[in-house]
């Protein structure tokens, strides 16, 4: 893993840097510890996070290890358009939760997870499907961040990959275990301030050390025609389009986003998500430019591993002082996301699994806290074990994003359309995931009639994605019209060749299948229409005093029962 041409710190120096970082974050959270922590604060800070802390937490959470490694990989692989394809679509993942998030928060202002809302809407089976997808996504995210830590430590020091993974895992657990989400938000703010200060220095420093704009322009001659083309079909179909498809999937399916949606003060939702969108896009596109620069210089990733590209560039071109700053930068970014994943996983197990299905509305808040902390410990161990496999980050991101695509339409439709049933939700998600796996792993030939079948479903999926995005900001009618037009365009231009791009085909198939099955089964059902007003009465806080305050603040609405008494 190591190379004598790259600068390395001593093992002692790296250990001291890690101890300083994780020790500092622990001391920071020590100041907010309560003798008797309550479950609602542990999960969503009692729904009282302000604009500044909320925007900083969202930005820091979303600028994670993949923002460094996968952004650089994208620039290195696809050339001039690579950084845009990763950074822009990643930013939109934050933006597109906002219009739908307003609806989620209106229906269940005191929710802790999106799964609680779905439980009130449909029942246990639909909620557990959503919870399972979130658990899978958060575990993969933990694995990605711990993998990045191992790669960083192994490149910049004599320590092994496994040592870096273990130190990062238990370091994050150390400061998150007691206060949960509150600790995550507080450290996110501090980590973002440091991250932005260092990024403003590090990114230009690497760029100019490698030769600056003149070297970049000169090196473009070494790129292939596809890599030189800003509108490269190869980059669009293999990178841009799959990430664009994943925009809504991550926005709806990622509990780290939903958790902040329910935690932020309701009046600050819009500025929080808009600010985080801009902050993320600006920093990550800059990081992707480092990968592009490496491509123009003809640099080969160390040991052929793309995960080593960013630390390799920094180690090769910067002084030890800047390398130390970079080390802290990456450790802070991956830790801010890892602690959010631990908080998300604990909230899912506490609220979705224990609160709604095991305790069945009679949850003991103290037992919930114990379960939440135990979940964090187990998740950390699982993340460390899976990180040892050192899987490709970019591939894992596309895979989980496509799986989340199966739940997007059923979740959104359930919150806006009163005819969606539990059966329609459950069957549509299961069918979509089944067909996604068949297409993604090519379990049947994707040529001839079989390929045409999946291309038709994918065309429906493309129309659904565009339609939902427009619907979120411009309303139902315009969204429906634009979605139909997008589907027709897909049927005309995409059939016949889309089967050659299995990642994109499978992702769109998940959207198309879930939408088609959900709509058909909902229209066929003769069950009475759902009363959305019941959701707010079914989803409440676990602390009685919070619900009493909520009732005082909203005298125009009926009193909400606490979850413990629901």
Residue 31 vs residue 520, higher pLDDT: 520
The answer, yes or no, to whether residue 551 has pLDDT greater than 50, is no
Six token digits for residue 352: 């979705």
Report the C-alpha dihedral over residues 30, 541, 173, 19, rounded to 10 degrees.
Answer: -30
Spatial distance between the Cα atoms of 70 and 87, rounded to a whole number of angstroms: 10
Q: What percent of the chain has pLDDT over 70?
A: 91
Pair 409, 511: CB distance under 8 Å? yes
Q: For residue 237, what is the DSSP state? A: I
Listed as own residue / partner, the contacts of 300-306 with beta carbons closer than 8 Å and 24 or more positions apart are 301/76, 302/1, 302/3, 302/6, 302/155, 303/1, 305/151, 305/390, 306/69, 306/72, 306/73, 306/76, 306/77, 306/392, 306/393, 306/394
Q: What span, in angstroms and rounded, lies between the C-alpha atoms of 234 and 270?
A: 35
For the segment 361-388, what is each residue's pLDDT rounded down to a tens digit? 788 888 999 999 999 999 999 999 988 7
Would you give the DSSP letter of residue 542?
Answer: S
The answer to whether the CB of 420 falls within 8 A of the CB of 413 is yes
For 87, residues 6+ apart whose C-beta sits below 8 A from its C-beta are 71, 280, 281, 284, 285, 287, 288
pTM value is 0.86
**Could you give the 3-state DSSP secondary structure of residue 367?**
helix
Predicted confidence (pLDDT) at residue 308 exceeds the cutoff of 70: yes
**CA 164, CA 310: separation in Å to the nearest integer?**
16
Q: How far apart are CA 405 and CA 111, in angstroms?
A: 23
The 3-state DSSP class for residue 334 equals: helix
CA distances from 497 to 233, 432, 465, 502, 505 (A): 12, 21, 20, 10, 10
- Residue from 93, 168, 152 nearest 405 by CA: 93
Quote the CA–CA distance of 547 and 515 in Å, as a whole number: 36
DSSP 530: P
Place of tokens 């005082």: 552
Residue 197 has pLDDT above 80, yes or no: no
pLDDT score, position 397: 60
Backbone phi and psi for residue 477, each to the nearest 5 degrees, phi listed first: -65, -50
Convert the pLDDT of each residue in 144-163 to its tens digit: 889 888 888 887 889 998 99
Quote the tokens at residue 388. 């040892």
316, containing H or E segment = helix 309-317
Per-residue pLDDT tens over the stretch 506-516: 989 999 999 99
* pLDDT confidence tier of residue 564, bands split at 50, 70 and 90: very low
For residue 267, the model assigns a pLDDT of: 87
- CA dist list (Å): 455 to 28, 245, 410, 497, 509: 52, 15, 21, 9, 8
Above 60 in pLDDT, residue 345? yes
Whether 52 contacts 58, CB under 8 Å:
no
Q: Where does 63-180 have alpha helices with state H?
A: 65-78, 82-95, 97-107, 114-121, 124-156, 161-176
Backbone angles phi, psi at 455, to 5 degrees: -70, -35
Distance CA 382, CA 378 (A): 6
pLDDT attached to residue 398:
59
Q: Rounded to whole angstroms, how far apart are CA atoms 174 and 168?
A: 10
Q: Span 177-194, mean pLDDT?
A: 89
């Amino acid at each position: 893993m190591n190379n004598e041409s790259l600068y390395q710190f001593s093992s002692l120096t790296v250990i001291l840097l890690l101890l300083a970082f994780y020790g500092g974050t622990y001391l920071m959270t020590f100041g907010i510890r309560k003798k008797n922590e309550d479950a609602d604060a542990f999960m969503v800070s009692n729904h009282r996070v302000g604009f500044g802390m909320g925007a900083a937490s969202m930005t820091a959470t979303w600028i994670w290890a993949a923002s460094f490694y996968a952004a650089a990989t994208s620039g290195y692989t696809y050339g001039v358009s690579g950084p845009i394809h990763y950074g822009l679509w990643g930013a939109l993942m934050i933006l597109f939760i906002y219009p739908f998030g307003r609806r989620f928060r209106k229906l269940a202002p005191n929710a802790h997870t999106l799964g609680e809302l779905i439980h009130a809407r449909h029942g246990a089976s639909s909620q557990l499907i959503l919870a399972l997808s979130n658990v899978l996504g958060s575990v993969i995210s933990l694995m990605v961040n711990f993998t990045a830590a191992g790669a960083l430590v192994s490149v910049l020091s004599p320590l092994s990959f496994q040592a870096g993974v273990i130190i990062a895992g238990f370091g994050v657990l150390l400061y998150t275990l007691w206060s949960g989400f509150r600790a995550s938000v507080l450290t996110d703010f501090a980590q973002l301030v440091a991250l932005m200060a260092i990024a403003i220095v590090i990114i230009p420093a690497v760029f100019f050390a490698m030769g600056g704009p003149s070297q970049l322009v000169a090196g473009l001659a070494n790129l292939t025609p596809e890599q030189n083309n800003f509108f490269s079909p190869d980059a669009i179909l293999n990178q841009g389009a799959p990430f664009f498809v994943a925009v809504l999937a991550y926005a709806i399916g990622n509990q780290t986003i939903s958790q902040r949606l329910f935690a932020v003060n309701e009046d600050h939702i819009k500025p929080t998500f808009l600010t985080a969108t801009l902050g993320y896009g600006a920093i990550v596109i800059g990081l992707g430019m480092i990968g592009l620069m490496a491509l123009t210089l003809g640099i080969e990733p160390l040991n052929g591993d793309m995960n080593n590209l960013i630390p390799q560039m920094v180690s090769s071109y910067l002084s030890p002082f800047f390398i130390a700053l970079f080390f802290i930068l990456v450790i802070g970014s991956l830790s801010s996301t890892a602690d959010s994943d631990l908080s998300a996983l604990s909230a899912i197990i506490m609220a979705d699994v224990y609160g709604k299905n095991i305790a069945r509305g009679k949850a003991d808040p103290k037992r919930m806290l114990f379960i939440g902390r135990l979940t964090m410990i187990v998740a950390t161990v699982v993340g460390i074990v899976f990180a040892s496999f050192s899987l490709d980050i970019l591939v894992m991101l596309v895979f989980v994003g496509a799986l989340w695509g199966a739940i997007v339409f059923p979740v959104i439709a359930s919150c806006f359309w009163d005819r969606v049933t539990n059966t329609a939700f459950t069957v549509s998600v299961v069918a979509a995931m089944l067909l996604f796996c068949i297409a993604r792993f090519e379990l049947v030939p994707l040529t001839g009639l079989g390929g045409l079948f999946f291309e038709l479903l994918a065309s429906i999926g493309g129309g659904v994605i565009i339609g939902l995005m427009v619907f979120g900001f411009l309303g139902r009618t315009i969204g429906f019209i634009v979605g139909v037009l997008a589907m027709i365009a897909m049927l005309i231009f995409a059939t016949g060749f889309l089967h050659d791009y299995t990642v994109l085909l499978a992702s769109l198939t998940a959207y198309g299948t879930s939408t088609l099955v959900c709509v058909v089964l909902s229209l066929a059902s003769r069950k009475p229409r759902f009363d959305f007003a019941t959701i707010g009465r079914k989803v409440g806080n676990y602390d009685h005093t919070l619900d009493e305050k909520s009732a005082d603040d909203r005298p125009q609405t009926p009193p909400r029962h606490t979850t413990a008494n629901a």
